[in-house]
Structure formats: structure tokens, C-alpha cells
Amino acid sequence: MSLLVVGSVAFDGIETPFGKVEKTLGGAASYFALAASHFTPVRVVGIVGDDFTAREKAILGGRNGRIDLEGLEHAPGKSFFWAGRYNQNMNERTTLTTELNVFADFQPKLPKSYLDTSFIFLGNIQPTLQLSVLKQVKRKPVLVGLDSMNYWIERTGSELRETLRHIQVLVINDDETRQLTGEHNLTRAAKDIFKMGPKILVIKRGEHGALLVHRDFLFAVPAFPLEEVHDPTGAGDSFAGGFMGSLARDGRVNEKSLRRAMVYGSVMGSFTCERFGVERLTTLKLSEIKARARHFSKLTSFTL
Ligand code: AMP
């Protein structure tokens, strides 16, 4: 089934103990789309500037046309630019620069061909803009997922709460979950989030994996134990891409498909960490994804 993502398509500057890149294709929607495209075709809604050239277009378009860029608006000026530096153990990241550029005046517009999308992911942007995407679709989607961050929770809390009333899956990290609810215990925080609208909460916990909380069941997936993490940038967005991509491919949302989606989310997040930027997502083969998913099955299987 069709899958749409709205979010940042950007250039990133990244510094980790393994190296440094000045300017490489990034942005939450880029990671999401590249990860999800291994499962299902993806439609992208975003905005880029004059510096987004045929080279970047070829990276996103290089997945055999599985990433539809009709909804990627080109505007005069520079693309969104973000730079970050990781500490020695990769657990902490300092944001060095955030330049909104053309992103500052972004008003998401869905092309006609996107209006019937069944699975929608509202990437981390201003909550009112996230809601404006939902208002444009013509048919009720099967599932709407949403990501947000401390920046929006602090500055646009009431707008975010309004948008949350219209979505089913909230995909955020543990700090954001605590910040949004004011509750430290994550299972109790999930109950507060259910009162805000979502029926499913997916908590991304970095190297500790991810937890799915549904009214009827809980599911935890570890992070894949990698020997070398080169660059964790975009791991969360790649997780969301694998998660939503798997669900859209299954075409239905039930306990079985949600458990499988969690594993594919973790699989895609782990691949992203192996190389700088989006590189690993562009070279990845389906056979490698399947092999790592099997590895997860072994990693977590036990008998009582
Ligand atoms: P993650 O590592 O999952 O937090 O995602 C990092 C990606 O998010 C980078 O590629 C950035 O370009 C993008 N990003 C960083 N800050 C923002 C922001 N305020 N709004 C939208 N995208 C952002």
C-alpha cells in the first residue's frame, strides 16, 4: 500500500570519532524514504533549495524509482542545513548548527497523485504543518504515524496536542516521551499518551532498542549489536522508515504486523549506523535485510 512521508530533506555536517563530512545529503525524510523504499514505494513531501542538485536527486531517485519526488518542492535559496558532533562513546550529540533556510517558509503541498495515500508518516516538523498534510488527504488513511522533538514539545505544545488527536502511532524517543507527559516511568507515560489520541506508542531508545506499547500488548526489540557504529545520524528516522514501510507492505495493522515492523525498524536503524550519512541505505540489498531480520529472531529466541 502507498506510503507518504513529510519532513526535512537537508544537508548535514557530521563529526564522529570515525571521521568528518562537511556536507552530505541528510534530513529526516531522506533517511525515512531510503529505509522504507526497501519495503514499499514512498512518496516524499518536502522542500529543497538550489544546492539540491541532480546528484542528490539521483541518490533518492536511485532506488529504481521507488521514491516518488513529485511532492519535493524546489525553492530559491539554500536547503535546510544541520550539523552535529558526537562524543567519544557516540551516546551524546551536540547540535552545532541548524539553518532553516528554505524550510523556514515551508507549507506542505500534496500533489494530486498523493491524495489517496493509505499510510502516512508526519516527520519532525512544526505540528500545525503536520496537521495540514492530513487535512489535504481525500480518503481516511489506514494509519498515521508521527515523530516530534523537544523543540516542538517546548515551543508548540498545544499545537502538538491538537495534531496528536488525529494520529494513531507516536514514534519518539524516551526523553521526548518523558518531556511530553511529565512522567518518568515509560509505561505510565504511555497511558497518558493514549489519552492524547494515539493508540500505539513506539519509544526509540538508541543503543537500548525500542519498545512498542499498545493497550493490549507490549513488544520490545533490541538494537542490533554492531561492532562499529560509524555515524548514528538518522538512525531514528531509518527506524521509522523500516517500521512504517513494513506495515505498508503488509497492508494491515495487527499485533503480528506491528511486531514484525518493530524488528524491521531496528534492522534499518542498525544499517544506517554502519556508514556516514545515508550511504549504507543506498547500497543495501534485500538479502542483507532478510539475513539481519533472521539474526534478530535468533538473538531474542528462548524456551521456557
Ligand atoms: P536523527 O539522528 O534521527 O535525530 O535525525 C537526524 C536528521 O534530522 C538529520 O539528517 C537532520 O538533517 C535532521 N534534523 C535535525 N534537526 C532537525 C529539525 N529541527 N527539523 C527537522 N529535521 C531535523
* Kind plus residue range of the DSSP H or E element containing 11: strand 10-16
- pLDDT tens-digit series, residues 134-192: 999 999 999 999 999 999 999 999 999 999 999 999 999 999 999 999 999 999 999 99
The verdict on the CB of residue 151 being under 6 Å from ligand 1 is yes
Instruction: Report the alpha-carbon distance of residue 235 to residue 100 in Å, rounded.
Output: 21
- The predicted pLDDT at position 46 comes to 98
Instruction: Report the alpha-carbon distance of residue 157 to residue 203 in Å, rounded.
Output: 19
Cβ neighbours for 187, distance < 8 A, ≥ 6 positions apart:
213, 218
- Compute the distance from residue 238 Cα to the ligand 1 centre, in Å: 11
**Residue from 219, 235, 301, 222 nearest 269 by CA:** 235
- Compute the distance from residue 300 Cα to the ligand 1 centre, in Å: 30
**Residue from 221, 224, 304 nearest 271 by CA:** 224
- The predicted pLDDT at position 228 comes to 87
pLDDT band at 295 (very low <50, low <70, confident <90, very high): very high
Structure letter (DSSP) for residue 17:
T
The verdict on the CB of residue 236 being under 6 Å from ligand 1 is yes
- pLDDT tens-digit series, residues 80-104: 999 999 998 888 899 999 999 999 9
Strand order in the sheet with 19-26: 19-26, 10-16, 80-86, 93-99
| Alpha-carbon dihedral angle through residues 234, 235, 238, 244, given to the nearest 10 degrees | -120
- pLDDT tens-digit series, residues 182-233: 999 999 999 999 999 999 999 999 999 999 999 999 999 999 999 889 999 9
The amino acid that residue 246 corresponds to is S
- The predicted pLDDT at position 28 comes to 98
Strand, helix or coil for residue 184: coil
Q: Tell me the average pLDDT across 52-74.
A: 94
Rounded to the nearest integer, the mean pLDDT of the chain is: 96
The verdict on the CB of residue 10 being under 6 Å from ligand 1 is yes
Structure letter (DSSP) for residue 167:
-
The verdict on the CB of residue 32 being under 6 Å from ligand 1 is no
Cell numbers given for 60: 533518492
- The residue whose C-alpha atom lies closest to atom 22 belonging to ligand 1 is 8
- Compute the distance from residue 162 Cα to the ligand 1 centre, in Å: 23
- pLDDT tens-digit series, residues 249-289: 999 999 999 999 999 999 999 999 999 999 999 999 999 99
Percent of the chain with pLDDT over 70: 100
The verdict on the CB of residue 82 being under 6 Å from ligand 1 is yes
- The predicted pLDDT at position 89 comes to 84
Q: Tell me the average pLDDT across 39-58.
A: 97
